[in-house]
A and B are shown apart, each in its own frame.
Chain A
Amino acid sequence: MHLQFAFFIYMKFLKHIDNYLICYILVIVAVVQLYNSQFDSLTPWKGGGFGMFSTNKTTNITAVGYKSNGDSILIKVIGSKFNVPISNTFLTSTKNYPKKENLRKLGMQIIHSYLKPTTVEIPANIDKNTLDHINKNERFYKLVYEPKYYENDDTAHAEDAIKIQSLKIRVFETDFFENELIVKKKFIKEIEINY
């Protein structure tokens, strides 16, 4: 009798799974996404957990390059379909879920690229501590380098583009704080990549 009842329940359960399989898949994907967004670095906005428009927190990836003579440079990590050797899809995916292997891959792409200098204008509404730090290290913050494709070494050198020996990628989380009306960044992790 007990066995028959257990079999009945089991069959009913299987029938239920069969009828609502896709709904169960949605729940499993969403639960995995919830775990990864709460205990790892996946953004709540992506990954099938339906957390779009739930938070202003975003991950941002910064990079500092080191030339062969030891000088450090500020790098702007950008992606593009055409003139930048980092694809937008890959960069967006890495920003949404900055896993170590993807950060490493991103770092290798930057190290293998030419980096073109552009001037950077520090905004007036940045905090005083950062501004003081920037003023003290004016040489470092004067130029920001962007990865770019070049047909050959000569055209790269004509635009003062350079290559680096090693790289430090630092990952931050940016969020909006209403009380102080500020957008602030918080350090998450960093990795070093050598040529």
Chain B
Amino acid sequence: MAYSVLAFLEKNNKGFESFPEELIFKFSLVLLVLDGSTGWGLDIFMRITCALMLAFDSFSKNRVLWLIISLLLLFFNSLQFYILDNHKILFVYWVLLITFYLWTDKDSNYLKSNAKILIGLVMFFAVFQKLINGFGSPGFLHGRFLFDSRFMLVTHFMIDTPYEVLANNQNSIAILKTLPNDNSFVSLTSTPFMGRVLYAFQLFGLVFEALVAFLFLFSKKNTIAKDIALLAFCIGTYFIFPVIGFSSILLILGIAQSTKKMRKFYIITFILIQFIKVPWQQIIFYLNNSL
């Protein structure tokens, strides 16, 4: 039984046509191993299957295995669609694209042109959503930095507010959310300086994101301006908003659509971005308090 399954799989192996193609497949498999799925059931399958596909080169481009991965990702992710982070959904699109590529007679330009447009569309919708949700007005980043635990230590350093006060903000909001009373509110503590600095960052981020969207949707395939903009966006954004999955999938899409000249910069950034896992804020906090 095992031999016949293996023989069937081997029949569907395909060899890599070029080094860039191999790079795209292997980076995608790496991401599937590290951050491919949501939920333990699929996660175990992904880790085992994709790790083996990486280890045994001839299976890295196996079209049956990629089809199974796509179908399972589609099925499990649709079960928890409203709790999934958007980068997981983007990742499903990418895996589907790879599967389509393997099951049709399309050339490698198919992956390249689709990766470019996917990046452009993601950035476009991110900007559009921000605009219609009032991101252009002050307040979004200021609020996040006052009650989102991921950024509260930065706030603590910026305005010298004791960390306990910020942690109390979070507790107060949690209790506010339990109360069934309309128009109830809790007051927070901050400074006008903090609001101005964060609003400037907010606007800069919005304009930069729009620039990346514009370049990826409307520039020529080989222009390097779009690559420089995306690389700067990934480094600038994800060291503050540490969503490693999103930065990784954007960089893999970046690798897929880039020229040979720019590819190495994407790989270097992919390596650099892994350092967002380091808990910088906590390290600085503990160093500050222990000295």
CB distance from A154 to the nearest CB of B (A): 29
In the complex, whether B68 has a CB less than 8 A from a CB of chain A is: no
In the complex, whether A25 has a CB less than 8 A from a CB of chain B is: yes
For A11, list chain B residues within 8 Å (CB). none
Instruction: Report how many residues on chain B are interfacial, defined by Cβ distance under 8 Å.
Output: 62
In the complex, whether B185 has a CB less than 8 A from a CB of chain A is: yes
If A55-B133, A123-B175, A125-B172 touch, whether A184 touches B100 (CB-CB below 8 Å) is no
For B185, list chain A residues within 8 Å (CB). 126-127, 130, 180, 182-185
Binding-face segment, A46-54, A107-115, A156-164: A46-54
In the complex, whether B190 has a CB less than 8 A from a CB of chain A is: yes
**Is A185 within 8 A of B130, CB to CB?**
no
Give Cα A56 to B138, complex, Å: 12
**Is B172 within 8 A of A55, CB to CB?**
no
In the complex, whether A23 has a CB less than 8 A from a CB of chain B is: yes
Residues of A30-57 contacting chain B, CB below 8 A: 30, 34, 37-38, 42, 44-57
Q: Annotate B100-122 by CB proximity to A: 1 below 8 A, 0 otherwise.
A: 10000010001001100110011
In the complex, whether B17 has a CB less than 8 A from a CB of chain A is: no
In the complex, whether A19 has a CB less than 8 A from a CB of chain B is: yes
CB distance from A99 to the nearest CB of B (A): 9
Give Cα A120 to B114, complex, Å: 53
Q: Annotate A117-128 by CB proximity to B: 1 below 8 A, 0 otherwise.
A: 000111101110
If A54-B135, A93-B80, A127-B185 touch, whether A49 touches B178 (CB-CB below 8 Å) is no
For B113, list chain A residues within 8 Å (CB). 19-20
In the complex, whether B64 has a CB less than 8 A from a CB of chain A is: no
Task: Identify A121's interface contact among B81, B175, B188, CB under 8 A.
Answer: B175
Instruction: Report how many residues on chain A are interfacial, defined by Cβ distance under 8 Å.
Output: 67
In the complex, whether B204 has a CB less than 8 A from a CB of chain A is: no
For B144, list chain A residues within 8 Å (CB). 53, 56
Binding-face segment, B54-62, B82-90, B224-232, B280-288: B82-90
**Is B139 within 8 A of A60, CB to CB?**
no
Give Cα A29 to B65, complex, Å: 26
CB distance from A126 to the nearest CB of B (A): 5
In the complex, whether B173 has a CB less than 8 A from a CB of chain A is: yes
CB distance from A19 to the nearest CB of B (A): 7
In the complex, whether B143 has a CB less than 8 A from a CB of chain A is: yes
Residues of B216-258 contacting chain A, CB below 8 A: 241, 243
**Is B83 within 8 A of A23, CB to CB?**
no
In the complex, whether A194 has a CB less than 8 A from a CB of chain B is: no
In the complex, whether A170 has a CB less than 8 A from a CB of chain B is: yes
Question: Which residue in chain B gives the minimum CB-CB distance to A25?
Answer: B93
For B110, list chain A residues within 8 Å (CB). 19
If A76-B178, A120-B175 touch, whether A51 touches B129 (CB-CB below 8 Å) is yes
In the complex, whether A155 has a CB less than 8 A from a CB of chain B is: no
In the complex, whether B149 has a CB less than 8 A from a CB of chain A is: no
In the complex, whether B279 has a CB less than 8 A from a CB of chain A is: no
**Is A52 within 8 A of B188, CB to CB?**
no
In the complex, whether A191 has a CB less than 8 A from a CB of chain B is: no
**Is B83 within 8 A of A27, CB to CB?**
no
CB distance from B186 to the nearest CB of A (A): 5
Question: Which residue in chain B gives the minimum CB-CB distance to A45?
Answer: B86
Give Cα A170 to B183, complex, Å: 13
In the complex, whether A133 has a CB less than 8 A from a CB of chain B is: yes
CB distance from B176 to the nearest CB of A (A): 6
**Is A22 within 8 A of B139, CB to CB?**
no
21 A-B residue pairs with Cβ-Cβ distance under 8 Å, sorted by A, are: A19-B114, A22-B97, A26-B118, A26-B121, A46-B82, A47-B82, A49-B86, A52-B126, A60-B177, A62-B179, A64-B180, A74-B179, A74-B180, A125-B169, A172-B177, A176-B188, A182-B187, A182-B188, A183-B147, A186-B183, A187-B183
Additional 13 contacts, C-beta under 8 A, given A19-B110, A144-B178, A182-B185: A22-B97, A23-B117, A30-B121, A48-B89, A93-B83, A96-B82, A122-B175, A123-B171, A126-B185, A176-B147, A178-B139, A185-B177, A185-B184
